[in-house]
Structure 1
Amino acid sequence: MPNAAVGIRVESAQSGDATLVIDGRYVHSRHDPRREAERAMAALCRREPAAVLLVGIGLGYAAAEVLAKTSVTRVVAYEPDAAVVQLAVDGPLAGYAESARIVVVSTPEELEQALPRLCSDGFETVIQPGRFASAPDAMAEIARVEAAFRGRLDINRNTLERFGRLWVRNLCRNLPRLAGGIGVDALAGRLEGFHAILVAAGPTLDQTLELLPDFARRCVIVAVDTAIGPCLRAGVTPDIAVVVDPQYWNARHLDRLLLTGTLLVSETSAHPSVFRSFAAPHFFCSSVFPLGQSYEEVLGRFGPLGAGGSVATSAWDLVRLLGCSSVYVAGLDLGFPNGATHCRDSFFERLAIGIATRVQPAERVVFRYAWDADAAHVPDNVGGTLLSDRRMAIYRNWFSSQIARNRLPTFAVTRGSASIDGVTRVNPDRVLRLPDARADIAQVLREVSRLRADDQERAARIAAHTGALRAHLVTLAAIADRACNTVARMTDRHARGLQVDFSPLTAHDAAIASNPAGRIAAFLMQRAINAIGSGFGSSSIAEQIDASRALYETLGEASRYHAGELARTVETVKFIGGSTDNEAG
């Protein structure tokens, strides 16, 4: 049965099912394509990953198999040919046309947007054999998009492993701040038509520090945490500071500072000491963590800021949200110009000098920092190269995709930074030719600084939600303990050579699934979930028992940790109009 599209042909396989030929190559088995998909997807379906990326949809056999044999796995299918998609929808996928678990994209750009939305909890990739054999360039582009996103996930996973508990602890200490906090959505369009300077603390910032006072007369000054000190030493108080890092050492950039004229935009899990340096109101972006999201469900959504892995990505997205007509970046190096990591006299540079010894001088400290994440040379914005690393590559990809999508004109006023697609290098004179707008900018910022939340009413909501959430977490830990006892009995039976029945775990699993705190506790379980996933797909009874034990033990630990941190917050912090008598630092 020839298809109207050139190069596409549907034939009958020996089994009687349809098979697909594209450009003379069989995409499916000529004998039994349905059975082929069952075998190919069997192990994957047993593992039941959060998501699957299908590169090529074919007639839909693999996608239909995943949807039929799993209960939660999402399918993202890349297929550039609409005729092929229609064949799949009319064939094996006919019963899933309205399913929310499958999304089909047709361009690399659509795939870039779909992956963060649908695959952030992890995914497996399945390439349809033969589908892109005659289109290697298209396959290479999809491989690039997939690899870039997987790299971001790897870094996110490692970051979660390092900082997961810290994020939870900080958020619990910051709960009183949420009562008086305002969502960044309140800033949307507030500075429409103004130009902005995004100040980062890369080494090239030194080139323009003396020009910052002149820039400030013409532009909104948005500084990331590491650049606040250099701005002040240049005689410029930032209009807006963006601080999202949870670590104590990062908060040290604000040592002994009181920035009453600077608006703070932060994340609910930033280090608690950060907020001491800024007058109210504090503006919060939406949390990407389940615990923070649960509080937004009772307080109202704060509003998202792009989280590309760097505070600079959040700052750029804030400029977009503000409605600025263009943004000039200074010190956004995303690399190590001349082997340096930060501008002169930044806290991190002083720290490197402070910890230096004769056997490990400051230059060696910087060298280790630069080479800790697979360093490589990349093009800079003046035709040369500079040292960068894998983390910075992810940030560059984020900027490139967001600039292309949002069309916010972005210019670099410093020389020697990493080249970023979509960022045009310009001379600082371009900024100096802009009209003086300081009085108008100051007027808008004064109006914004007068915004206030109903902190008393919000404080009551926070207190009530905290109490209920603690109770759910305590219950969840008890369920996990009972499940561990059940697994212990199963282990004993297996050791004595008796038949093992997994059905008693069903009741525990149902209780866990219905507990409102389950998603929150799971935040600290990702390492265990990733490590034991293969156990649930194993045919070995011992491995399945071990996987179950590890899962329930980790659930109990995560639930108790969350409950304990919330308990300490309730005991030590008074919810009085969004402020505290005792600072949680």
Structure 2
Amino acid sequence: FARIIGANPIFFAGLDLGYPQKQTHYRGSFFEELLLSVSKKNRPFETALFSYIHDADSEYVENNSESRTLSDKRLLIYKWWFETQMPLYPETQTYNLAPLGVKIKGISYKNLSELFGYPECRNVIDKKIEEVRRMTLVRKPDYEKLHKAVLSLNNELIELKKMAQEGLEEIRKLKSNLKNEVFIRQSLIKLDSIDRKILKISSRDVAGFLLQELFNKILYYEGTSDSYYNVLETTEQIYRHLRSSCLYQSELLMNALNRLKLLSKYPDSL
């Protein structure tokens, strides 16, 4: 978003993509309050927090201080996305202010003190904000257009989830027929067709950066064994993750749709 509106250079603050010194950004947030509200005597808040950090294939990766920071597969998807986007816009200078943040290729580290060397621009920002406010007074948001766009995204996520479910069902059948060569060939053709449909959708914006790494895994499987079973296990994991991601993103979009309905009916509630 910052790049689209013309910001250059761009400075990221708090872009850790990990758990520096095994700490999170939970304190005072909704997620902390949620964990506190559901904690029990035999599963206190601290246990839930520990599980959150360590239950997603956590690993230590290189950080901006040439040491290592704990991260996990969930956060490394974001790292992968940033690293694929940076070469596309070389004219935009992008920096990270987090010394213990995960090192991202294409995003250099800058000490916070260097940022203070830039000229003050608060007056310029306030002027731009005032211009935007005047524009909104003249032109009301097109909630109907926004609603259609969000609905379209949600429909494509539903289609992605459906394909992932089809893949899971086909793998379940295939696992039960690993000695039937004819069935294996037919099943692999079906799975290939499902993958092609998924990859076709991934070329559009609906796939998002949360799913792109999964699509690459479908294309470039790098397993330790070429046995049918090991390949199927990996593919099944990909489909399951894809289905889970689609469900989560679809839930967020449905919340957005409900919010848009309220705003279109009661615009002053914004």
1:449 and 1:342 mapped to 2: Cα distance?
32
Residues 325, 574 of structure 1: alpha-carbon distance in 2 compared, 3 angstrom cutoff:
closer
Q: CA RMSD in A?
A: 4.2
Structure-2 residue corresponding to 1:410: 94
Higher strand share: 1
Structure-2 residue corresponding to 1:337: 20
The CA deviation string for residues 216-270 of structure 1, in whole angstroms up to 9 with x for no partner, is: xxxxxxxxxxxxxxxxxxxxxxxxxxxxxxxxxxxxxxxxxxxxxxxxxxxxxxx
Percent identity over the alignment is 26
After TM superposition, the structure 1 = structure 2 runs for residues 271-290 of structure 1, keeping only pairs within 5 Å, are none
1:574 and 1:403 mapped to 2: Cα distance?
32
After TM superposition, the structure 1 = structure 2 runs for residues 518-537 of structure 1, keeping only pairs within 5 Å, are 522-533=159-170
**How much has 1:401 moved relative to structure 2?**
2.3
Residues 531, 450 of structure 1: alpha-carbon distance in 2 compared, 3 angstrom cutoff:
same
**How much has 1:378 moved relative to structure 2?**
1.0
Higher helix share: 2
Contact 1:340/1:366 (8 A) holds in 2:
no
Structure-2 residue corresponding to 1:60: none
State the one-letter code of the partner of 1:449. R
State the one-letter code of the partner of 1:431. L
**How much has 1:409 moved relative to structure 2?**
1.7
1:575 and 1:323 mapped to 2: Cα distance?
31
Is 1:323–2:10 an aligned residue pair?
no
TM-score by length of 2: 0.55
Give unmatched runs, 5+ long, in structure 2: 175-180, 191-253
State the one-letter code of the partner of 1:451. M
Instruction: Give secondary structure in 2 for the equivalent of 1:320.
Output: coil
1:462 and 1:403 mapped to 2: Cα distance?
28
State the one-letter code of the partner of 1:429. S
Structure-1 residue corresponding to 2:133: 449
The higher-RCO structure (CA 8 Å, 6+ apart) is 2
Is 1:580–2:265 an aligned residue pair?
yes
Is 1:371–2:31 an aligned residue pair?
no
Give unmatched runs, 5+ long, in structure 1: 1-317, 470-517, 548-565
Residues 582, 431 of structure 1: alpha-carbon distance in 2 compared, 3 angstrom cutoff:
closer
Contact 1:375/1:390 (8 A) holds in 2:
yes
Instruction: Give secondary structure in 2 for the equivalent of 1:450.
Output: helix
The total of aligned residue pairs comes to 185
TM-score by length of 1: 0.27
State the one-letter code of the partner of 1:423. I
1:387 and 1:525 mapped to 2: Cα distance?
34
State the one-letter code of the partner of 1:526. M
The CA deviation string for residues 304-328 of structure 1, in whole angstroms up to 9 with x for no partner, is: xxxxxxxxxxxxxx11111111111
**How much has 1:532 moved relative to structure 2?**
4.4
State the one-letter code of the partner of 2:106. G
After TM superposition, the structure 1 = structure 2 runs for residues 131-530 of structure 1, keeping only pairs within 5 Å, are 318-342=1-25, 344-407=27-90, 408-452=92-136, 453=139, 459=144, 522-530=159-167
1:347 and 1:385 mapped to 2: Cα distance?
28
State the one-letter code of the partner of 2:164. R
1:335 and 1:447 mapped to 2: Cα distance?
38
Residues 437, 389 of structure 1: alpha-carbon distance in 2 compared, 3 angstrom cutoff:
same
**How much has 1:339 moved relative to structure 2?**
1.7
1:358 and 1:575 mapped to 2: Cα distance?
41
2:68 and 2:260 mapped to 1: Cα distance?
54
State the one-letter code of the partner of 2:265. T
1:436 and 1:574 mapped to 2: Cα distance?
36
1:377 and 1:332 mapped to 2: Cα distance?
16
2:259 and 2:7 mapped to 1: Cα distance?
39
Contact 1:400/1:420 (8 A) holds in 2:
yes
**How much has 1:347 moved relative to structure 2?**
2.8
